[in-house]
Amino acid sequence: MSSESDFNAPVRRKPVPEKKIRVLVVDDHPPMRIGLVALIKSQPGMDVIAEASDGEEAIEVYDDVLPDIVLMDLRMPGMGGVEAILAIRKKHPDARVIVVSTYDMDEDIHRAMQSGAKSYLLKDMPIEEIASTIQGVYEGDTPLPRSVQERLMERAQRQQLTERERDVLEALIKGRSNKEIASSLCIAEDTVKSHLKTLFTKLHVRDRTGAAIEAIRHGIIHLK
């Protein structure tokens, strides 16, 4: 697959000016944005053609510059990364977005890949891995770091929650009692208990406190 091992191609090193990969960087943290931009510009075959600091801006800018690759942060104020990816890929189904996140929670990873991201990088990864992933995605691959793959496998092994179970879990993490959850969801308290029972089983915990912790730990429900 890789263009490097094409033995039949004629050898020509210098002659081709080689078009640079045009990257759009999206991150709400100024120093991180600066770092990603510098990192990419330091790579010979890549260039940053635009930046954005949130989801809405990313969508606008994408339409303007039509980059080859988008490097997108996941958690941003206002429109998050997932919504931005969905919006971009709705208009441009062939858009190639790579998520660059601080968090390695399996639900974050899953949501990102589900929404159409081509890869998922962590900010603690070495610059070589970031660069090679950009290169790989540009060439049509979907190179997913091993550690991220493993997280994704973990999630796959966990039974996934139904919509209603997520509702209950979310209410639970707001600190509500069964009775309060019931009235906030307009169902009977027994129904809440019923959902909780399956939640405990699926999350491999025995009580609501354990469920809350697991939900937060895996990023199933975001705090705040």
Partner DNA sequence: ATGACTCTCACCCGTTTGAGGGAAATGACG
Partner DNA sequence: CGTCATTTCCCTCAAACGGGTGAGAGTCAT
Could you say whether residue 206 binds DNA (CB under 7 A)? yes
Q: Which of 23, 144, 164, 44 is nearest to 95 (CA)?
A: 23
Question: Which one of its own copies, DNA, none is in contact with 224 (Cβ closer than 5 to 8 A by kind)?
Answer: its own copies
Taking the complex as a whole, the smallest distance from the CB of residue 122 to its own copies amounts, in Å, to 8
Could you say whether residue 200 binds DNA (CB under 7 A)? yes
d(CA 197, CA 189): 12
SS3 113: helix
d(CA 94, CA 96): 6
d(CA 98, CA 143): 10
Could you say whether residue 163 binds DNA (CB under 7 A)? yes
Could you say whether residue 202 binds DNA (CB under 7 A)? no
d(CA 184, CA 159): 25
Give, in order, the Cα–Cα distances in Å from 126 to each of 66, 123, 130, 167, 214: 27, 8, 7, 38, 29
Pairing of strands 97-101, 46-52: unpaired
Near DNA by CB under 7 A, which window of 8-16, 48-56, 93-101, 195-203? 195-203
Select from 197, 204, 213, 217 the one that contacts DNA (CB under 7 A): 197
Binding residues vs its own copies (CB under 8 A): 28-36, 38-39, 77, 100, 102, 123-127, 130, 172-173, 175, 177, 205-210, 212-213, 216-217, 223-224
Could you say whether residue 169 binds DNA (CB under 7 A)? no
| Nearest CB to DNA, comparing residues 51 and 165 | 165
| Nearest CB to its own copies, comparing residues 114 and 147 | 147
Could you say whether residue 165 binds DNA (CB under 7 A)? yes
Question: Which one of DNA, its own copies, none is in contact with 162 (Cβ closer than 5 to 8 A by kind)?
Answer: DNA
d(CA 31, CA 123): 12
Select from 70, 195, 218, 220 the one that contacts DNA (CB under 7 A): 195
Give, in order, the Cα–Cα distances in Å from 26 to each of 60, 158, 162: 12, 31, 32
The end-to-end CA distance of the chain, in Å, is 44
Taking the complex as a whole, the smallest distance from the CB of residue 124 to its own copies amounts, in Å, to 5
Task: Report the interface residues with DNA, using CB under 7 A.
Answer: 162-165, 177-179, 185, 187-188, 190-191, 193-197, 200, 206-209
